[in-house]
Amino acid sequence: MRSKREGSSADGSLTSRPLMLESLRGEFTTPTNRKRMCPAEPAMQEPKAITLALPHATALLAHWLGSEVRCHSIVPLKGGICSPVFRLEFDRPPHLAVVKLQDADEDDPLPRERLRLDYLHEHTKLPCPHVYLQDDSRAIVPYSFLLSECLPGVNLGAAQLRPEQRQAVERELAEALLELHSHQRAAFGDIEGKSTVSDWNESLMMSRQ
């Protein structure tokens, strides 16, 4: 599963784990620096600039909640990987949510992300957000979107931590990575089980095609 490889650098160190923590705690945000990528990773294009208008935010929230709602705040988040992300504040419980947007015509990653988050909830104890709604019809808003729980926390890159606090966070990340590595099957591939490749190198080459 790809999740077994995510969150670690090419040499297996903890250097990229803060990104994993941001995902687990719901701080899914827009990338600002592609140079942080591991040299072994294929080049990725910056996502197109996408803005979320208030009427669109209100429409997707109303569709999810099933009744009228007033959205009074749309806050762009920072530090994620491939999708623009916004925190929404509104006048009905739970009052906060996070939405990811995609306008790609092909290879939309959001349906796969929902499957992976659902898997983590069902099979692990990792603190990742519940998915409220995922829709790629573009009938509600002109984008594919994933609406999820907004977990408490801050971007680790912006956190002011004492050495002992950072050590505790790194230990927590190490435990999360160990749990991810404990999920195995006979073949490599996505969580949804579309691949039956038994050789890691072959699986890696297929993922880059």
pLDDT of residue 46: 53
pLDDT digit string, tens, across residues 97-151: 999 999 877 788 899 899 999 999 999 989 899 999 999 999 999 999 999 999 9
| Residue 181: CB atoms within 10 Å | 13
Other residues' Cβ atoms within 10 Å of the Cβ of residue 118: 15
Domains of the chain, start order? 15-148 (3.30.200.20)
Q: Is the peptide bond before 152 cis (omega within 30 degrees of 0)?
A: no
For the cut 90, the answer to whether the pLDDT of residue 71 exceeds it is yes
Q: For the packed helices 17-24 and 163-181, what is the interaxial angle rounded to 10 degrees?
A: 80
| Nearest-angstrom CA–CA distance, 75 and 37 | 25
With a threshold of 0.85, does the pTM exceed it? no
Cβ-contact 7, 38 below 8 angstroms: no
Q: What is the spatial distance between Cα 188 and Cα 75, in angstroms, rounded to a whole number?
A: 37
Which helix (H) or strand (E) is 118 found in, with range? helix 110-123
Sign of CA dihedral 166, 172, 178, 181: negative
Chain segment 85-99, per-residue pLDDT in tens: 999 999 999 999 999
The predicted structure's pLDDT at residue 206: 63
Residue type, 146: L
Pull the structure tokens for residue 115. 């499957």
**Structure tokens that stand for 189 in this block:** 């591939």
Look-up of token digits 């297996």: 12
Provide mean pLDDT across the span 168-195: 83
Separation of alpha carbons 154 and 171, rounded Å: 18
